Amino acid sequence: MLKPELLSPAGNLTKLKIALEYGADAVYASVASFSLRTRSAREFNLEIFKEAIEYTHAKGKKFYATVNAFPFNSQIEPLKRHLQTISAMKPDAFIIATPGVMSLAKEIAPDIEIHLSTQANVMNALDAKIYHEMGAKRIVVAREMSLKDVVKIKEQIPTLDIEIFVHGSMCFAYSGRCLVSAVQSGRQSNRGSCANDCRFKYELYAKNPESGTLFRLEEDEGGTHVMNSKDLNLSAHIKDIIESGAVDSLKIEGRTKSEYYAACATRAYRMAVDDAAAGKFDAQIYAGELNTLKNRGFTDGYLVNRPFEKADTQNHASSLEEGTHQVNAMTLDGEFFKCKYKIFPGNEYEIVAPLGAQIDECENEISQIFARDGKKFIKFKKLVTKKGKEIAEIHSGNENEVNLGAKLPKFSFLREEIK
């Protein structure tokens, strides 16, 4: 079974390194200009972006630069300069949403692949063929497309790579084509500054034009999240997706999400892909891992079901739900950690590390690492900062690095189950 590429989000350089460490074959990122994620992209200046591309290539992985915003006429010249600057850094592909920007990119950097963004809303083989003939090596299909239609496109255009979203935020509008944010707050959804107005809580009113009576339609006293889409989670369908033979890349959404999200989502889908190829696929394992993440509720979206067949894709109760686990700490170097929530001596914390990483059981005056039920845990006897100061407990507001007492794989996390 040929394994598809696993493509993870890189909201900043640290998240990029985490995604690669946890099993991504490729990452996608951008600087703030001409991207649909300007908030996360601000963490990349041009110098760091170049470093990120070089780091990725040194790992033998691929880097895709996102340039998928919809430019105005006044931005064409700046866009040309931007494409020239980024192309000199040698990303493996540009992710682009419009034919005009595609044409410009092919003129400026003919050797860099073009990946057509999901914002282009490709839903059929006819459109896919046109874009392929225009120079797109890959299309990122709309989230509303079915796997059957993906297969038909691949059958008709076998030289075209197809990428699908398998996890992350869904949009209330059709493949991100939304104006709610622009209307309510002046933040342009299709140019990188969406305010996520669909996640807000709203109150609904009905008015009788004859009497002028106005009354509120209540689901509860606080209103309802009437437009809030659940998060996409296709982990249970990875085996079927791979067996279709039509999908070349599995994409995880989430450049603005946490370091733990980059690690956990990548790790779960890495397991799913590898297990499917090895004939030991177990959907419950990947669901259990992904359920540790904060989410809006999960749905398998429209890849295996038509939209009119689905009645569970919206979360009307809240815009965010806690996952099954709390992330307490993270280590960049494997020797010291920074607190993400709370750490107390005597408590047990599960260690989350890249797949295949070696974690040795040990015990000393600072901590103990031990195994239980196939997992590794750490328990601190005392908390000692990098500067040698002993503290009774540590909370997320404390920026001190704290001694782990043992060597863990870099980019490991400590978590505990929420009870």
Q: Are 58 and 25 in contact (CB under 8 A)?
A: no
The CA distances from residue 240 to 7, 84, 120, 234, in Å, are 18, 40, 26, 10
Quick check: 326 and 344 in contact, CB under 8 A? no
The proportion of the chain whose per-residue pLDDT surpasses 90, expressed as a percent, equals 71
Domain 325-417 class? mainly beta
Q: What is the pLDDT of residues 249-297, one digit of tens each?
A: 999 999 989 999 999 999 999 999 999 999 999 999 999 999 999 998 8
The residues of the chain that CATH labels 2.40.30 are 325-417
pLDDT tens digits along 304-333: 876 656 667 777 777 777 899 999 999 999
Q: Compute the distance between CA of residue 373 and CA of residue 376 in angstroms, rounded to an integer.
A: 8
Tell me what pLDDT residue 224 has: 75
pLDDT score of 35: 65
pLDDT, position 219: 60
Q: Give me 242's structure tokens.
A: 């791979």
Tens digit of pLDDT for each residue in 83-109?
Answer: 999 999 999 999 999 999 999 999 999
Region 156-170: what's the mean pLDDT? 95
Strand extents, DSSP E, 186-306? 204-207, 214-217, 231-233, 249-252, 298-299
Residue type, 261: Y
Tell me if 336 sits within 8 A of 408, measured CB to CB: no
Name the segment(s) of the chain with CATH classification 3.20.20.70. Answer: 5-170+229-299
- Our CA dihedral for 15, 271, 142, 117, rounded to 10 degrees, sits at 40
Lowest mean pLDDT among 72-76, 149-153, 231-235, 359-363: 72-76
* Whole-number pLDDT of residue 183: 64
What kind of fold does domain 5-170+229-299 have according to CATH?
A: TIM Barrel (3.20.20)
User: Closest Cα to residue 190, out of 262, 97, 104, 298?
Assistant: 97
- For residues 228 and 316, the answer to whether their CB atoms sit within 8 Å is yes
Q: Which residue has the higher pLDDT, 186 or 152?
A: 152
More confident residue, 64 or 175: 64
Q: pLDDT tens digits, residue range 103-134?
A: 999 999 999 999 999 989 898 999 999 999 99
- Which sign, positive or negative, has the C-alpha torsion 98, 26, 78, 36? positive
Mean pLDDT of 56-78: 93
What phi and psi, each to the nearest 5 degrees, are found at residue 234?
-105, 20
**pLDDT, greater one: 264 or 178:** 264
The pTM score is 0.89
> What letters, b where the CB count within 10 A reaches 16 and e where it falls short, cover 146-173?
bbebbeebbeebeebbbbbbbbbbbbbe
What is the per-residue pLDDT across 230-240, written as a single tens digit (0 to 9) for each? 899 999 999 99
